[in-house]
Structure 1
Amino acid sequence: MIERRRRWFRDMPARMALKLFNRPRVRIILGRKYSDALRIHQPALPRLSGIDAKIVAGLEKDGVYITTVDALNLADGHIVIEEARKLSEAFADEARERVANGEVFVIVPPDRIIDHPSIYLFGLQDRLLDIAESYIGLPPAYDGVTVNYTVADGREISTRKWHRDWEDRRMLKVALYLHDVDEDGGPFQMIRRHDMHQNDEVGFDYELADDAALTATLGATYSDDIVSCCGPAGTVIFTDTARFFHRGKPATGRDRMAIFFSYFAQQPRHPFLCERTGMQRRDILRLAEPLPRRQQRAALWRQYLSIALRIIPPASL
Structure 2
Amino acid sequence: MVALHNLKALRFGYSQSSRIVASITQRFLSGDPKPSHFPLQVQILCRHFTSEISETQPNVAVNYLINSCGLSPKDAISASKRVKLRSLERADSVLACLRNHGISQTRITSVIKHRSELLQADLEKTVLPQLEFFRSIGVSREDLATTLSYNPRLLITNLENRIVPTYDFLRSLLSAKHVASVFKAGSWIFVEGHSKKVAPNIEVLRESGMPQSCICHLLAHYPCTFMLKPEELGELVDEVMKMGFNLEKTSSVKAIRALCGRSKLKCNRNREVYRRWGWSEDVALSAFRKNPLCMIHSEKKIMKAMHDHVESL
Q: Same fold (TM over 0.5)?
A: no
Structure (1/2) with the larger helix percentage: 2
TM-score when normalising by structure 1: 0.21
Structure (1/2) with the larger strand percentage: 1
